[in-house]
Every structure is written in structure tokens, then in C-alpha cells.
Structure 1
Amino acid sequence: MAKIAHPPVAEAPPRSLPWWRHLYVQVLVAIAAGALLGHFVPDVAQTLKPLGDGFIKLVKMVIAPVIFLTIVTGIAGMRDLGAVGRVAAKAFAYFLTFSTLALIVGLIVANTIRPGDALRVDPATLDAGAVSRYAEAAHHGSTLAEFLLGVIPDTALGAFTSGNILQVLLLAVLFGIALALTGAKGDRVLTVLEDLSTIIFRLVAIVMRAAPIGAFGAMAFTIGAYGIGALAGLAGLVATFYLTSLLFVVVVLGTVARVAGFSLWDLVRYLRAELLLVLGTSSSESALPSLMEKLERAGCPKQVVGLVVPTGYSFNLDGTNIYMTLAALFIAQATGVELSWGEQALLLGVAMLSSKGAAGVTGAGFITLAATLSIVPSVPIAGMALILGVDRFMSECRSLTNFIGNAVATVVVSRWEGGFDKGRFHAATHGELPPQG
């Protein structure tokens, strides 16, 4: 694949903003304020949930057009249609490898630390009704055939209203290929779509100005509704999960980044505003449009960003995978169920399938865990009631790990494709590019 030409790095001297105007500072302050309000005035804090929900809905409103325009203009502008399949093959090879590794890491840690042994819970005393709606959701569309059919939208316009990222991805790839094959007549349409893409990303910038409000409302609700005290009883599980995820990011993804020739720390620092937003809203989808824009700005080819990021949100969920095997074994240990290595291998295989297609939204990890446990009958699904109270806190860690994993995957695939501009990456991550707009 020919090296992608990016705009020159030294476009203009960067303008420094006052510290209080940086988005990551505003979001960090909002998270802290929300946590304090939730702790000291929980009744008021719980009424602020619509602020977080409203912001996430605003972001979801622009996700479909961002993905569609990025992929279509990337493929149509590339002309080399064989590269589309090559990028997809490399991306899925990466996803399969590291998703499986994340599941195995969760199994190893659960068997080594055994965080559930201290609880000794009688399964008969658990409230199965508390998790019934999650188990019901897990059974809906759980077969492979239903999942694959669900990727195909009922109508072309329906892909933009379904909320299913994969439907938009499929439509965009097909439209991009058709546009590339149209020749000169398609160039006029491509020009219009590129202009429209500029407008949509300006819209994203406008929406992101509301990020501190959304993070404030979401964090206030979380602390107000669940309370820091909810962590005390299951502190071992929560701490184990956070530590395992941190080690996976630092050791595994850090090694991958080093081998690929870039700094994980530089990437994390560059995406700090998005990471804080994910932390505040407990949803990796809240930062998806901004992630795509920033990765392209940092030297990743548009067509790679367009294919890898949205696909990764369904197939490259490192945090969710660690959580699934760790939480499943925690429940087994807490209820006195000793799983054989054969049963753990079955659990791993089921988790590999049930984790695919899980959206990066709050609660998706809990639903996929229910889907996994429903196929491994030796572990009581009612045991999920044990972790229901702290799942919201673990959802934040799942989302953060998923987000970082997809950012790393995009840069790595860009590197494999030979289109990664290392100089531009360094300039972007060190604040040497002029502000956009």
C-alpha cells in the first residue's frame, strides 16, 4: 500500500490554550465535582442521570455518520480495493490474538489469586430475580446465525437508526467499494462526501464541548446511586480486576506498542481527554468519534482508522474479556463450585464467542457474562447477583481498557500497512501540531 500523504506537520506555530480551556481539565474537574456531590448529596445526585444519558445520546447521534463518511471516503480515495481486505484480515488477526490473550489472562489471575474463596455463599440464598433481565437480554440474538443476520440492516437508512455499529460498517464498506468502481463519475460524489465529512467533524467538536456536563451527571449518579461503600464488600474482586487490566495495558499493550515503534505513554497522554470522558460516562462509545478524528490526525491512514476502530468496538474488547473469565471464576469460587480444567476450557471457548459483538456501552459486559454462564451450567447464573452492586465500577475499567486496546490496535495495523506517519504521531502526541479549526 502506498504511503498515505498527510498534511505537513509544521502547518503553523501551535497556539497554547489557558489550562482551564483544555477539555481533559474540564472533564477531570467535572468528574471530581460529580463524585463529591454523589457522596455528600446522593438524592440530588441521582436526579442528574439525564445529563450523562443526554450526552451519550448526543454522541451516538454522530457516530453513524462519522463511521460512514470516514470509511467511504477512505476506501473510495484509496482505489486499491485489495487493500481493504488486507486491512480487515490484519485487524481481525490482531483482534483474535489479543482478545483470546485477555481471556486467558483473566483465567490465570482468577486461578492464582482466587478472589472468591473468602465469600462462601450458598447459591440458594441468592436473588436470581435481580439478574433475570440481564439473562433475558443475553438470550436475545445469542446464536451465531442471529448475530450475522443482525449485521445486515433491514434498509439502507435503517443502518443509521439501529444503533448497531456493524450495520453502518457493512453499508459503508459496500458503498465505498461501489464508489471506487464508479470511476470519474464517482469523483464528484467523493468530493461532496469529503466536504460533508469536514462539517460532521466540526459537529463532533461542538458536541464534545458538552463532555464535562455529561461526565458530571454520569459520575454524580453513579456515586449517588451505588455509593463508595458498595466497594467494601467486594473490594478484592474490584481491586483484582483493576490491577489485572492495568498490567494487561502496561505489560501486554505496552510491549506491542514498543515492538511497533511507538510509545504507549505518548498515545495515552494524547488521548487523556477521551480517557477521562470514558471514565466519567462509563462508556467507551462516548469517545468514539473523537478517537477516530485524533488517530487520523496523529498519522494513521483514514481507511485504516475507519475499518479498525468501529470493528474493534465489537470484536476487540480486551477489558470485557478479562472481566468475563475473572468474574465467572469469582462467582464459581464464591459459590463453592470447583471448575475442572476441561470446564474452564469450555468457559474460555464460550466467552470467545459471546464477547464478539458486545457494544461498548454501559452494562454490555454484564450481559455477555450472563450469556457465557448460561452455557456453563455448573456455575449458577444467580451468582451474578453477587457482583451486580459493583458492576458499574468495573464497567468503567472495562471501557477504559477496551478504549486503549482499540487505539493501540489501530496504530499497529497502520504500521503493518506501511501508512503510519511516525513523525506526525510524535508531533501530535507532543502538542506540536496547531489546534484544529
Structure 2
Amino acid sequence: MNRRFALLVLGAMVGGVLLGFLCNRFMAPEQASQVADGLNVVSVAFLRLIKMIIAPLVFSTLVVGIAHMEDSASIGRIGVKTMLWFVGASLVSLTLGLVMVHLFQPGVGMSPPTPDAAAETVKASGMTIKGFVEHLIPSSIIDAMAKNEILQIVVFSVFVGTAIAAIDDKAPAVLTFAEQVANVMLKVTGYVMNFAPIAIFAALAATVTTQGLDVLVTYAKFVGGFYLSLGLLWVVLIGAAFLVVGKRVKHLIAGVRAPVLLAFSTASSEAAYPRTLEALQKFGVSRKVASFVLPLGYSFNLDGSMMYCTFAVLFIAQAYGIELSLGQQVMMLLLLMVTSKGMAGVPRASIVVIAATLAYFNLPEAGVLLILSVDHLLDMGRSATNVVGNSVAAAVVAKWEKQLLPEGEVEAEAETAKAVPA
């Protein structure tokens, strides 16, 4: 997302708050409710556009990612160690988000009106073994896609991707088709997200119209709590890197400062990829490891995005006064662990994943609109965190594989490079 889009989002937020305040202050409650209903039409339209892209997007991106995993597996030990680190980092990110949102309780007391369509499903459904199996294994992939059953789509995609990777020639026609579908859906997602500022304006205006400016206090608590959680995640990641890399971790963080700031300002970790790769090699990570771990990390190690998913889903549940059992929360972590792996490079991927997770647990899908107005602000922080997480992963794997140049050799290479005439 470029700077122009960020300004549009900021303008939409300010305009939405201003319109909502005026309506709340100078209109009778009945009139304000009618205005809010009219504004919600825009928000609902955007929500349906998001739901429209979930099934084909998850299927195509996950199939392509898994089908290409054989290339990663050929690297052997590096692939295994990288994936182990990614799984561990993912669990830490998801669990930390879960703990922090329970600690801050940012959604408690918000009490938004429950949409009529979700009125009968506002209580989270109980989870049984039979119900889990029925939700896990699709009886028909067409039916699963029609109903946006995200976990069933994931299961089918895993089988398809694994089968393609197991075939000698990788079924080039099928794989090419899946890649083309993924590319088309990424473009469609980009088109849909162009409407985000309008939806943000309408969602925030409708919320403030019915609830007044007091609701902004809740948003401040939500944003502040999430950024504090991200800060804690940074401490954990850098601390883990210190245990492996040692004191050189401070040079790593200093080296990736520029790409982290780029990711933050553009709200896109992908925009920082070239600079991150360059910074890692200057730090001493071998090109072999950096060129493997970093792109894989953009698919399987989105630490900031995963933390946001758990934080946002439980924020929405708290806002509607819905309690999820411990078992359901564990199931949510596992679901997000899998679904987040197929969403790399997707604009506002977290919104898509959150929308699918809400539907899976029978939480009001309109809850997405509660976080939409501040999503871009939060996306800046989680994008920067994704860069930090992947940089740490590359450095740790390089150290494990003895592919991290000693600090003295890195400085010597830098001096040699300066001495070589252009």
C-alpha cells in the first residue's frame, strides 16, 4: 500500500468520525439509526466482497505453495530447521496474542448491535469430535467452497498440493493453472481492497453515529494493546536470536532498520524484501541461506500477522460478549496456524483470514467491520514485525548451519568491496 492509500485511509477515518459525531450530536436517535443503517449498506457490500474471494484465494495460494515445497525439501537440513523455527515462532506469536488480548480485554464494554443475520448464532457453538470431523473433511469441495468452509478447503488444498509435488513432472498444466488462478485472485483482492477507504469511512461513521465518541476510547485501547503486544513479541524474537547468534544480534537489528521502516511506512512487508535480503547478506548470512529462508518466511512466518489474527478475533468476541471455551481457543490457534500459511502476499490477508475464522466459530461476521477502521494503522506494525521475524529466522538458521560469516570476515569483505573499483 502506497503513501497515497495511507492518506486516503487517514482521511476516511477522520471523515467518518466527524460525520458520526455530527449525526450522533444533532440527530434524534431514530434518525441517527436510519443514517447508520444506510452507511452499513456500504460496509456490508465490502464485507461480501471479502467473503467472495476467500475460497479461490485460499485454495490457489495454498496449492501453489505446497506444490513448490519439494524444491525446499531438496535443501535437506536447512529446510527442516527452517520449518521447525517457523512453527515455533508461529506458536509463540499466536499464543502471545491470545494471552495479551485476555490481559487487556480491549473489546469488553463495547457492545455493538448484533446483526440480525447472526442473532441466532451469537453464542459460540460447542465443539465435539463428530462436529470437528465434519468441519475438517469436506464431503464435497464444491459445497465447501460455496459455504466458505475454510478448514475443509485447506484440507483439500493440502491433498492437491502434495499430489502435484509427488508427481515426477509436477503436473505442469495443473500447477500452471493454479498459479494463474492465484495471480488472478491476488489482482482481484487488490481491486477489492481499493474500496477499503470507502468502507472504513462508512463503518466508522456508522459506529460513532450510534455509539458516540466514547467508542474511540475502546479503539485506542485496542490499538495500544496490540502495539504493546507487538513490542513484547519483538523482545521474545530478539531474545531468542541472542541465545543463538549472541551479541551480534544488535548489529542484525541495526542492519534491518531501513527495511523495517519501509515495511512500516508502506504497510507492506513485501515492499521491504529486496532491502531485507541485502541487509542479511551484509550481516553475514550466506546467500544460499538468505535466498531460501527469506522467501519461505514470507509464506510461512508472518509473525505479526498471526498475532493480529488471534488478537482481533478475540477482540470481536469480547465486543459481542461471546465467550470461547479453552478448547475452542486452542482450535482457533491451530486453524490460524494453518490458514495463515497460504495468504502470503495477499493485500489485507489478515482481514480475509479473520473473516473466515469468525464464520467457522459462528461469531458475527459483521465483527470485521469493528476492526476495519483501524486495520491500516495496525497493518503498519504487523508488516514491520514480519520483517523482523523473518530476519531473525534467517540469521538463526544460518548460525545453525555454520553459514554465518564471523564478524571480522564480514568487515573484511566490506572493505574489499569498497576497494574494488566500480
Q: TM-score range by the shorter chain?
A: 0.5 to 0.7
- Superposed displacement of residue 120, structure 1: 1.7
Match of 2:385 in 1: 401
- Other-structure match for 2:348: 363
Cα drift, residue 83 of structure 1: 7.7
How far apart are the structure 2 equivalents of 1:157 and 1:336? 46
Which one of 307, 320, 329 corresponds to residue 344 of structure 1? 329
Q: Is the CA contact (8 Å cut-off) linking 2:107 and 2:218 kept in structure 1?
A: no
**Offset of 1:270 from its aligned partner?**
1.3
Q: Does 1:422 align with 2:422?
A: no
Whichever residue aligns with residue 393 of structure 1, its letter is L
Q: TM-score, normalised by structure 1?
A: 0.60
Matched, 1:335 2:324: no
Deviations 1:2-40 (A, max 9, x none): xxxxxxxxxxxxxxxxxxxxxxxxxxxx969x8699669
User: Does 2:295 match 1:310?
Assistant: yes
Larger helix share, 1 or 2: 2
Q: How many Å separate the matches in 2 of 1:389 and 1:113?
A: 20
**Per-residue deviation, 1:322:** 0.7
Q: CA deviation at 1:350?
A: 1.3
* CA distances 1:183-213 after superposition (whole Å, capped 9, x unpaired): xxxxxxxxxxxxxxxxxxxxxxxxxxxxxxx
Equivalent positions of 1:44-83 (< 5 A) are: none
* CA shift in 2, pair 1:349/1:141, >3 Å: closer
Deviation at 1:295, TM superposition (A): 1.5
1:109 pairs with 74, 85, 100, which one? 100
Residue 150 of structure 1 deviates from its aligned partner by 5.6
Q: Which residue of 2 aligns with 1:51?
A: none
Shift, 1:360, TM fit: 3.8
Matches within 5 A, 1:166-245: 234-245=219-230
Q: How many Å apart are 1:409 and its aligned residue?
A: 0.1
Q: Tell me, yes or no, if structure 1 residue 91 matches structure 2 residue 82.
A: yes
Counting aligned pairs with the same residue, the percent is 34
For the aligned residue pairs, the C-alpha RMSD in angstroms reads 4.5
Aligned to 2:267: 282
2:370 paired with 1:390: no
Distance 2:415 2:374 in 1: 37
Task: Name structure 2 gaps, 5 residues minimum.
Answer: 16-67, 120-145, 165-171, 184-195, 205-212
- State the AA in 2 paired with 1:316: N
1:145 aligns with 2:156: yes
The one-letter code matched in structure 2 to 1:391 is D
Structure 2 Cα separation of the partners of residues 336 and 82 of structure 1: 45
Structure 1 residue aligned with 2:110: 119
Aligned length in residues: 313
Structure 1 pair 342/92, CA: closer, same or farther in 2 (3 Å)?
Answer: same
How far apart, CA to CA, are the structure 2 residues paired with 1:149 and 1:86?
25
Identify which range, 112-121 or 254-263, moves more after superposition. 254-263
Provide the rounded CA distance (Å) in 2 between the counterparts of 1:319 and 1:380: 24
Alpha-carbon distance in structure 2 between the residues aligned to 1:427 and 1:231: 50
Q: In the aligned structure 2, how far is the partner of 1:428 from the partner of 1:408? A: 23
| Preserved CA contact (<8 Å) 1:278 1:396 | yes
| CA displacement 1:269-292 (0-9 Å, x = unmatched) | 212221222112211111213322
Q: Which amino acid aligns with 2:155?
A: L
Query: Does the 8 A contact of 1:300 with 1:410 survive in 2?
Result: yes
The separation in 2 between residues aligned to 1:239 and 1:429, in whole angstroms, is 43
Cα 1:149/1:126, change in 2 over 3 Å? same
Q: Deviations 1:247-299 (Å, cap 9, x if unpaired)?
A: 1112x112112112244442232122212221122111112133223322321
Kindly provide the amino acid, as one letter, of the partner of residue 344 in structure 1.
Q
In structure 1, which of residues 250, 262, 268 is the aligned counterpart of residue 253 of structure 2? 268
| Alpha carbons 1:266, 1:430 under 8 Å: kept | no
Aligned to 1:413: 397
Q: What's 2:357 paired with?
A: 372
Partner of 2:27: none
Say if 1:127 and 1:385, in contact at 8 Å, map to a contact too: no
Gaps of 5+ in 1: 1-29, 44-70, 76-80, 129-134, 165-220
Give the secondary-structure state (helix, strand or coil) at the position aligned to 1:123.
coil
For residues 431 and 141 of structure 1, the distance between their equivalents in structure 2, rounded to whole angstroms, comes to 55
